[in-house]
């Protein structure tokens, strides 16, 4: 049964909304995958802060154009699903690639490519490279560490200066008490 024009417009609007709240997506070829495996992958993607969408390629192309994103034409061939990162594309790419490499999943699915940041078209190797980038929480921890390091150094200097003054006063008191 064909999809009505109204339903197509609804789907395109949903895809555009997902893309507006995203910083990247990976295109997955998953023809012949069992429902249980799709559900497991969907769960992994959700845990990585993303959404799994089975999309009609022509509707996804239209949505990408409407959202101002680059269209990975080569990746949008044949039956595809899309893992859309809500805020952490490297974490999502890592979760998808880890799942694909588990057990016999690689025989039924593969990452075909994707887009990062709205305009950077990635092939499969590019998605793999993006998966090695630090995730958003890792970057936040690194930045916090950089901010805290100078403050920690100042605290250490002040503590050692304070203990130095205390040691000098203690030595003076010992010396003067011993003389009396």
**What pLDDT digit, counting tens, does each position of 69-98 carry?**
888 988 888 888 999 998 788 989 999 999
- Supply the pLDDT for residue 140: 81
For the chain, how many helices (H) and strands (E)? 7, 5
Same domain, 106 and 43: yes
Same domain, 24 and 88: yes
**What pLDDT digit, counting tens, does each position of 27-55 carry?**
998 777 888 888 998 999 999 889 999 88
Same domain, 129 and 141: no
- Supply the pLDDT for residue 86: 85
Three-state DSSP class for 33?
Answer: coil
Same domain, 111 and 175: no
Residue 75 near residue 27 (C-beta atoms within 8 A): yes
Same domain, 95 and 168: no
Same domain, 71 and 142: no
Same domain, 147 and 121: no
What's the chain's average pLDDT? Answer: 84
Same domain, 118 and 148: no
- Supply the pLDDT for residue 60: 92
Same domain, 69 and 158: no
DSSP 77-146: SSS-EEEEESS-HHHHHHHHHHHHHSTTHHHH-EEEEEEETTTEEEEHHHHHHHHTSPPHHHHHHHHHHH
Domain that holds residue 160: 134-180
Same domain, 60 and 103: yes
Same domain, 170 and 94: no
Same domain, 82 and 27: yes
Q: What CA–CA distance (Å, rounded) separates 63 from 19?
A: 8
CB < 8 Å & 24+ apart, contacts of 71-74: 71/121, 72/27, 72/113, 72/114, 72/115, 72/121, 72/122, 74/112, 74/113, 74/123
Angle at 77 between CA 69 and CA 92, to 5 degrees: 55
Sign of CA dihedral 75, 77, 81, 84: positive
Share of the chain above pLDDT 90, in %: 27
CATH number at residue 105: 3.30.70.1730
Q: What CA–CA distance (Å, rounded) separates 40 from 43?
A: 5
Count of domains observed in the chain = 2
């Amino acid at each position: 049964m064909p999809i009505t024009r109204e339903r197509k417009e609804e789907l395109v609007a949903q895809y555009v909304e997902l893309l507006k709240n995203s910083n990247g997506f990976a295109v997955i070829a998953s023809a012949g995958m069992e429902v249980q495996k799709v559900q497991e992958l969907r769960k992994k993607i959700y845990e990585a802060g993303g959404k799994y969408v089975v999309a009609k390629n022509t509707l996804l192309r239209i949505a990408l154009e409407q959202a101002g994103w680059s269209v990975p034409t080569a990746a949008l061939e044949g039956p595809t699903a899309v893992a859309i990162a809500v805020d952490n594309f490297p974490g999502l790419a890592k979760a998808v690639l880890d799942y694909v490499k588990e057990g016999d999943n690689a025989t039924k699915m593969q990452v075909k490519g994707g887009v990062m940041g709205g305009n950077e078209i990635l092939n499969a190797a590019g998605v793999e490279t993006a998966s090695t980038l630090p995730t958003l929480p890792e970057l936040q921890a690194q930045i916090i560490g950089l901010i805290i390091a100078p403050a920690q150094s100042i605290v250490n200097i002040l503590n050692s200066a304070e203990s130095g003054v205390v040691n000098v006063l203690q030595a003076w008191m010992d010396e003067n008490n011993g003389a009396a």
